[in-house]
């Protein structure tokens, strides 16, 4: 199959959406399919085979992110020459809408992956947030209903779309985890890199440092955790608009020496952080899946996470981690229990590794390819 991917974010920008596109593209290509990506350009962006870049502008509220100008005189002949079988969009905006237009023009199936609870991100809009939230919900519903298939990473998000009024065909396919990449990584790298004593227990967060990730809650919880367990430290892997505010919060709490901000890292270093930590902690309440939780489990980390949306399906409560309410005391208690009970940590670590294999990248890519084929067969029979 020849698959056209239209996305409003792509490398070198890092996010769960970008990671999902990377993983599925790699697996589909290995399976013999041809994947072509249509994405924004970024400063000093290297040329890549099968990646078409659009001229872009810097996003005013998100450093490092660019907004594609969804027009190019080169696009029409490129699309015509590729003879795509299917178009898969990863946003209901800008390039997602452009991809939808070309799918309709070419008469080929249109697939949309609903990666993001867009209405939960209106804090980036300076005015009229409630009106923006409602408009965003309607826009997402209408865009979904114009697609031949909508992919959701978790069942709870599929239910959420149904409640919004989406009546298009919906399939649940999580972004897969490249489990093999966590097997031969370096568990001593993290402690050596940041001079962390062997006796210290490392709590790890990986993700974008944005308001929606609820990291201020995480730091408040760690203040209490460290009061109980002085041999603990918190490592935050990633960058984002809240980084300076979070550093100030750490300083005010007297925890500057106990909280490590790594900034953005190459992927292999991130993997080394996973395998070198003891517990993964996650407080976001806006996830459609929580891909980093699957990655943490592949590294054998027990997870303590706030139970909200997609996260609730990524942790087997009491087996490979704990799910809590958005209650600081409850969150702290579960982390404290894992810090204290080594046998429980080891038991959950084994279960986490085992469960990560259930969403391996090869398995989820095969399911996606099957969905593509079913759409192509349906389109063929409908036109015949």
Question: What's the pLDDT tens digit per position in 232-264?
Answer: 999 999 998 899 999 999 999 999 999 999 999
Q: Which fold has domain 179-359?
A: Rossmann fold (3.40.50)
Do the Cβ atoms of 325 and 312 come closer than 8 Å?
A: no
d(CA 233, CA 197): 10
C-alpha distances in angstroms, 67 versus 51, 152, 365?
A: 16, 24, 28
* Nearest alpha-carbon partner for 321 in 287, 295, 292, 344: 344
Question: Would you kindly state where each structural domain of the chain is located, as residue ranges?
Answer: 2-176+360-383, 179-359
CATH architecture of 2-176+360-383: 3-Layer(aba) Sandwich (3.40)
C-alpha distances in angstroms, 129 versus 42, 136, 235?
A: 28, 10, 32
pLDDT (tens digit, 9 = 90+) per residue, 119-178? 665 555 555 567 777 888 899 999 999 999 999 999 999 999 999 999 999 999 999 999
Do the Cβ atoms of 304 and 282 come closer than 8 Å?
A: yes
Q: What is the pTM of this model?
A: 0.89
d(CA 235, CA 259): 6
Do the Cβ atoms of 4 and 52 come closer than 8 Å?
A: no
pLDDT (tens digit, 9 = 90+) per residue, 17-38? 999 999 999 999 999 999 999 9
- What's the confidence (pLDDT) of residue 234? 98
**Is there a common fold for 2-176+360-383 and 179-359?**
yes
Q: At 14, is the pLDDT very low, low, confident or very high (cuts 50, 70, 90)?
A: confident
Cβ-based neighbours of 334, under 8 Å, separated by 6 or more: 304, 322, 324
């Amino acid at each position: 199959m020849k698959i056209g991917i239209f996305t409003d974010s792509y490398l070198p920008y890092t996010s769960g959406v970008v990671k999902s596109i990377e993983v599925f593209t790699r697996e589909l290509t290995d399976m013999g399919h041809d994947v072509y990506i249509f994405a924004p350009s970024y400063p000093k962006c290297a040329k890549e085979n099968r990646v078409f870049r659009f001229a872009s502008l810097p996003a005013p509220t998100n450093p490092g992110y660019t907004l594609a100008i969804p027009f190019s005189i080169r696009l029409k002949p490129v699309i015509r020459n590729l003879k795509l079988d299917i178009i898969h969009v990863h946003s209901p905006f800008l390039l997602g809408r452009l991809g939808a237009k070309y799918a309709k023009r070419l008469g080929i199936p249109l697939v949309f992956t609903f990666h993001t609870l867009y209405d939960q991100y209106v804090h980036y809009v300076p005015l009229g947030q409630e009106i923006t939230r409602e408009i965003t919900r309607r826009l997402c519903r209408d865009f979904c209903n114009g697609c031949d298939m909508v992919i959701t990473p978790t069942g709870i998000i599929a239910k959420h779309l149904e409640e919004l009024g989406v009546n298009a065909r919906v399939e649940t396919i999580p972004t897969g985890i490249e489990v093999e990449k966590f097997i031969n990584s370096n568990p001593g790298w993290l402690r050596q890199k940041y001079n962390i004593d062997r006796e210290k227990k490392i709590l790890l967060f990986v993700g974008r440092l944005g308001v929606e990730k609820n990291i201020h809650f995480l730091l408040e919880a760690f203040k209490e955790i460290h009061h109980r367990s002085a041999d603990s430290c918190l490592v935050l892997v990633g960058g984002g608009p809240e980084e300076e505010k979070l550093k100030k919060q750490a300083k005010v709490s007297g925890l500057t020496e106990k909280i490590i901000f790594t900034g953005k890292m190459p992927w292999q270093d991130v993997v080394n952080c996973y395998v070198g930590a003891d517990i993964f902690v996650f407080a976001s309440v806006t996830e459609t899946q929580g891909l980093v939780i699957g990655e943490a489990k592949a590294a054998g980390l027990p997870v303590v996470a706030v139970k909200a949306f997609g996260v609730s399906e990524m942790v087997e409560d009491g087996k490979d981690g704990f799910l809590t309410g958005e209650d600081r005391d409850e969150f702290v208690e579960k982390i404290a229990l894992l810090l204290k009970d080594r046998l429980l940590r080891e038991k959950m670590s084994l279960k986490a590794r085992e469960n990560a294999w259930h969403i391996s990248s090869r398995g989820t890519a095969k399911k996606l390819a099957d969905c593509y084929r079913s759409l192509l067969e349906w389109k063929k029979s409908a036109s015949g």
